[in-house]
Amino acid sequence: MAGERLRDGYGREISYLRIAVTDKCNFRCVYCMPENGVPPRAHGELLTAEETARFARLVAGEGIRRIRLTGGEPLVSNRLLPLMRAIRAIPEIEDISLTTNGALLPKLAPELKEAGLDRVNISLDTLDPAQFGQITRLGRIEQTMRGIDAALAWGFTPVKVNCVVVRRLHQDVFGLARLSIGRPIHLRFIEYMPIGDEGGRDLVAADAASGESGELRPEQWDASDTVPSAELRERINAAARAAGLSDLEPLEEADAPSGAGPARYWRFPGARGTVGFISAMSNHFCSACNRLRLTADGAVRPCLFSDEEHSVREALRAGDDARVLDIYRAAIAHKPGEHEVIAGTARAMSQIGG
């Protein structure tokens, strides 16, 4: 019934939709995108802002309450602002968030504010400028740091900073966690996941710089590259002690930043921000999964880790709302109970909407 939250076959209420606004990006992160970017799309393959907004309106009637706009890099798409304004006008939607690499945030923050954005997650995997260039291939660290400043200055709350940890990149995770001490920044360490195939992941560029290329198997996701969150927290605590700080303290769920989702949060004593861990690999949070994804070309994806997709594009184009909802409900009914640790997915993260 419209307005009620739709539940999947495992009793989970589906209330959170992640929309990939585009699969293009101004960066080419080694764990996410091939060096030359994703293949260009034929005109008309991607949903327009109006079509995506129509989908959002329909599924708001089925219980979606929170929407995240992601990609690819959502800030490079001219569909983003019209889409955000249209979503803001949907009364049932309580929260609009954005995941971005931050490079274009200083320029676009005022318009995003005006369009109704509530909060942002910004990706930052390292504080070392050279390593930042190696990981993102096209990015400069100052851009993302200015993006974080802009997010704080424009009052998007909370500001979360996402860091994907890959063992062979040897990132300074304590340095990143420390950002949470002086400012209200919520660091979230994400376990590296096997998303995309050889076209989607290429750690060779970053690894060549660390001088370990002899051990590389760049076409295959390597489980040893995932650093389990418990190990990571121990690493951060050990570095904190060496620097004369206390260990991270666990936070009650009620004290976690809003939209906490699957992250578990901790805090350095007295810090203004927090440190979260997202353990999709070492500790599945499937039983609490309330999300669905919509790809930029109009496919509903019940699970990040499964290639099963249900396209609503033609039904949207035909103006057949009943059919759109049938497909949406079928996608929810197919949401798996839990995900396997798989060897990869056909689409790269940038194409799914990470």
Binding site for ligand SF4 (CB under 6 A): 25, 27-29, 32-33, 71-73, 101, 123, 349-350
Min dist. Cβ of residue 74 to ligand SF4 (A): 9
CB 295 → ligand SF4: shortest distance, Å?
Answer: 13
Q: Which is nearer to ligand SF4, 29 or 294 (CB)?
A: 29
CA distances from residue 333 to 137, 188, 190, 283 in whole angstroms, order as listed: 39, 30, 28, 24
Phi and psi based region of residue 307 (left: phi greater than 0; alpha: psi -120 to 50; beta: remaining) = alpha
Please choose which of ligand SAM, ligand SF4, none residue 162 contacts, taking the beta carbon within 5 to 8 angstroms, the exact cut-off set by kind: ligand SAM
Choose the contact partner of 193 out of ligand SF4, ligand SAM, none; CB within 5 to 8 A by kind. ligand SAM
Q: Which does 298 bind (CB under 5 to 8 A by kind): ligand SF4, ligand SAM, none?
A: none
The CB-of-167 to ligand SAM minimum distance in angstroms stands at 13
Q: How far apart are the first and last CA of the chain?
A: 30
Q: At closest approach, how far in Å is the CB of 351 from ligand SF4? A: 9
Q: Which long-range contacts (CB under 8 A, 24 or more apart) does 231-235 make?
A: 232/165, 232/173, 232/189, 232/277, 233/266, 233/277, 235/173, 235/174
- By beta-carbon proximity to ligand SAM, the closer residue of 49 and 165 is 165
Footprint of ligand SAM on this chain (CB under 6 A)? 25, 31-32, 70-71, 73, 99-101, 123, 162, 164, 190, 192-193, 195, 349-350, 354
Residue 233 and residue 276: Cα distance in Å, rounded? 9
If the CB atoms of residues 145 and 251 are measured against ligand SF4, the closer one turns out to be 145
Residue 73 Cβ vs ligand SF4, minimum distance, rounded to whole Å: 5
Question: 97: exposed, middle or buried (C-beta count within 10 Å: 0-12, 13-18, 19+)?
Answer: buried
The secondary structure of the chain in percent helix, strand, coil, rounded to multiples of 5, reads 35, 15, 50
| Residues 148, 136: Cα–Cα separation, whole Å | 17
CA distance linking residue 311 with residue 341, whole number of Å: 25
Decide: 313 and 224 in contact? Cβ < 8 Å: no
Least separation in angstroms between CB 137 and ligand SF4: 8
Q: Which does 33 bind (CB under 5 to 8 A by kind): ligand SF4, ligand SAM, none?
A: ligand SF4
Q: Whose Cβ is closer to ligand SF4: residue 19's or residue 316's?
A: 19
C-alpha–C-alpha distance, residues 203 and 34, integer Å:
10
Task: Report the partner that residue 28 touches, choosing among ligand SAM, ligand SF4, none (CB closer than 5 to 8 A by kind).
Answer: ligand SF4
Looking at beta carbons, which residue is closest to ligand SAM?
354
Two structure tokens written together for 92: 């049932």
**Nearer of residues 136 and 327 to ligand SAM, judged by Cβ:** 136
Nearer to ligand SAM, 71 or 261 (CB): 71
Least distance in Å: CB of 98 to ligand SAM? Answer: 8
Asked if 241 and 196 touch (Cβ cutoff 8 Å), the reply is no
Q: How far apart are alpha carbons 232 and 149 in whole angstroms? A: 26
Residue 262, preceding bond cis, omega within 30 degrees? Answer: no
Nearer to ligand SF4, 25 or 56 (CB): 25
